[in-house]
Structure 1
C-alpha cells in the first residue's frame, strides 16, 4: 500500500467522505486538489498536502479532521514537509494575510495569532495550494466565482509572481474563459 492510499484511508476513517462540499464531498474535493497539483508538476509532499489541506480546518471551512494541536499525528502519516504546508494553509487567517501576501510574504496564524514570513521555497507551494483549492471550488460551484469574481481576479493577479507558471496559466485560463 502506498502513502496516498494510507492517507485516503485515514481521511475516510475521519468521515471526509461524508462531509458535504462543493462538488460532492470533502473527500472528493481533497482528492481533486491532490491530483491537480500533481498534474501541474508539484512534488509528492505538495500533492500530499493538497490531499490533507483541510485536516486542521481552514479559515473558509470550519471542520477539523484532527485538532491542530495534535500535529504529530498528521506529521507521522504524511511527513514533516507536507504537514508543515497543511498547517500553514489551515492556520492562515485569510483576512489578515491574503490581500497583502504578495507585498509582505507573511502569513498570520489564526490559531496562535502569530505572523510568520515565508521563505521563497515555502511561498510558491502555499500560493499554489491556495489557488488550486479555490479553482476546484469555482469549478464545482460556479456561483461562488461569480459572486466573488472581482476579489479573486485582483487577488490572483497580485499573487501571480508568487505562483508557479502552470498555476498562473490555470488562473489566466479561468479568467479569460469566464471573464
Structure 2
C-alpha cells in the first residue's frame, strides 16, 4: 500500500502551526498569567489537546488554544483587544478567530440556559447584542465550553467539588450539542 506524502506532512505542519500560536500566546504573557488550571498557557494547551482527543476539527482546536485571548465572562484577563481582531485572525485563521470572539463574547448568565433551544438567543457581552446563532456555531461553542470547564475540573479538585454538580446539570441540558467523546468526558469527570 502506497503512503500519501501529503498525509505525512499534515501532522508536522499542524504541529508547527500550533507551536507558532503557543509562541504568540507566550509573547502576550499567557505563560505568566495565573489561572485556576495553573498558568493560562498550560490551561489553553490542555484545552486544545482535549479537543483534539475528541476529534474536533482544526479550527475548533485552534479556538480552544486561544479561547481566552479576549478574556471571557468568567476570566476577564485578556491577551488581545477585540478592536484588533485581525491580529489573531492572521495567526489562527478567520474561522478559528470568529469562534474565539464568539466564545469570549458570551454573556453566560443570559446565554447558557438558552444555548440548546432551537434558535436559542445568545447575548454578546461586548455589544449587548442578542443573536440567534446557527446550530453548528452553538455546537462548537458547547464543545469548547465543555473542554474548558472539564480541564479546570480535572486539575482543580476544589473547584470540581464546588462547581461540578452545576456543570453536570448544564452539560446535561446541552447533551444534543456535545459530541459523544465530549459527553463521555463530562460523565467521567463530573460527579
Q: Find the aligned partners of 2:54 and 2:137 in 1 and give their Cα distance.
A: 17
Q: How far apart are 1:46 and its partner, in Å?
A: 0.5
Q: How far apart are 1:39 and its partner, in Å?
A: 0.8
Residue 48 of structure 2 is aligned with which of 26, 29, 34? Answer: 34
> Which whole-Å deviations, capped at 9, do the CAs of 1:16-65 have from their partners, x for residues lacking one?
00011123200000000001100100111110000000000000101110
The answer to whether the aligner puts 1:52 opposite 2:66 as a matched pair is: yes
The answer to whether the aligner puts 1:162 opposite 2:177 as a matched pair is: yes
Q: Find the aligned partners of 1:92 and 1:6 in 2 and give their Cα distance.
A: 27
Query: Which structure has more helix as a fraction of its residues?
Result: 1
> Which whole-Å deviations, capped at 9, do the CAs of 1:126-151 have from their partners, x for residues lacking one?
10000110001111111112112332
Does the CA-based 8 Å contact 2:153-2:189 persist in structure 1? no
Q: How far apart are 1:125 and its partner, in Å?
A: 1.1
Q: How far apart are 1:173 and its partner, in Å?
A: 1.6
> Please, what TM-score do these two structures have when normalized by structure 2?
0.88
| Structure 1 unaligned spans of 5+ | none
Q: Find the aligned partners of 1:111 and 1:70 in 2 and give their Cα distance.
A: 14
Residue 83 of structure 1 is aligned with which of 84, 97, 116? Answer: 97
Q: How do 1:1-179 residues align onto structure 2 when only pairs under 5 Å count?
A: 2-103=16-117, 104-175=119-190, 179=191
| Structure 2 unaligned spans of 5+ | 1-12
> Please, what TM-score do these two structures have when normalized by structure 1?
0.94
Q: Report the aligned-residue RMSD.
A: 1.2
Aligned positions, number: 176
Q: Find the aligned partners of 1:134 and 1:23 in 2 and give their Cα distance.
A: 10
> Which whole-Å deviations, capped at 9, do the CAs of 1:54-108 have from their partners, x for residues lacking one?
0000001011100111111111111011001000000101011112211253321
